[in-house]
Structure 1
Amino acid sequence: MILSYFSSLDWRSWDLEHRPVIPEGMAILIDDDLLFEDGPAAPRQASVVNRWLRELPASGAPAPSSWENYARAVKEWAEFLAEHGVGLFDTRERLKAGLSRYAEHRAAGPARSRFAATTWGQHMSILSLFYRWAMEEGFASAEPFTYRSARAVFAGTGREARVNLAVRRTPKPHVTIKYLEPDFTDLFRKGLQGLAPDGNRDTGFAGREMTRNAAIGDLALATG
């Protein structure tokens, strides 16, 4: 499958009455044989994906960089499925099996093919949007994803949300800290020993086993 980009340059030579409404720079997927359909009213999978891509600017994705990312995510997924004899709009059972294999490929496959958890999550979000659209438009009868209900709260207002179970959990920012600044390191060591920032005994500290705690803290700092 070929990824190209639309340009209306010299469109008047295309024997068209009006300029195409396709956005400039829109990502386009083309099968290797350069065909978009197998006959009248028989569009190929790439044609369906292209229609979805053309609607992205009116669906909350106006940036050309997003169009390319969306196209690449679906392209790589479709190509992977094809290698295993699964169609882009196959049955739910076959799509779920393909997703399971794809997840293993992106997590533990060849190094060049692996995705970080955040990249995997982005791809799953894109594919979820694509399949939701394809089902609403009647192109797909099933999707590979399973969801659970969750309640999201923002500014005191709650709403029901669907969580895609295919998305890997990512660590919270506070557990991804790789090092401590020197001044905080000193404060951390003093705190474990029950000392105030000035190095004197903190009379308000009520911890236990401070010597042990300080030793473990020093070990963690020394070994990483």
Structure 2
Amino acid sequence: MTASGDLSEIILNDALSDFQKQNLGIADLERGYVGLQLKAIMEQYVLIGLHTQVEFELAIKELEVAKLIDTGPYVPYENDPGSSVLLFGGSSKREYIFLTEKGYKAASIARRPKIAPIAAHSVHISRGVFHQSPLGIGTNIRQDVNYTDLSITDFQRLASELSLLCSAVLPHATAPEHIAAIGRLAEAQMAAQANDAPKVQQALSSVGQAGKWLLSTAEKIGVGLAAAALKTHLGL
């Protein structure tokens, strides 16, 4: 798959997370809603060097052509009061993206856990090491380090929470180590999206001095699994 294709899947997943965070419903999919700001998405994936501007624009274009997302706000044409020609319709100012019904369905299907037909497994995070176990049913992640047991159905929840954390900390990045840590966080998100446990571990173990800054924000915004994973890989 191309880099823009990979990014389009990540953006679609981010849009679904935003839709769910806002507690929206089918009526919002039909009429549109204020979703993720395009500028913020670009900053998250382009400005920290994970993707190029071209890859970002192609990813958005792919999602629009497939009618998985739309943009807004919609602004009607302004007709000249002195003109005898009236224009109807309008255009998008392209400030934000939002899911369509088709996009919601596609994102939801992509996020469903993939259950092996014979030997399902679970993944345990224990002091920075991902252990495969044949004891679980489906694909679960459980963190067993100094807090109440936490489990999810697959890596997609972790990817969603890391994406939310990236969006939350980016506006408050004031030091080079903050930018570097956000880059590692975004790498961990993409690895989680791909169900790649070793790369998640490697990225979260490399957040450096800003690790506690990330953890503090994660706890404030309530992304429990992301906070748990950070604690594990930071040795806290």
TM value normalised by structure 2: 0.25
Rg comparison, structure with higher value? 1
Whose helix proportion is higher, 1 or 2?
2
Q: Which has the higher contact order (CA 8 A, sep 6+)?
A: 2
Using structure 1 for the length normalisation, give the TM-score.
0.26
Greater strand fraction, Structure 1 or Structure 2:
2
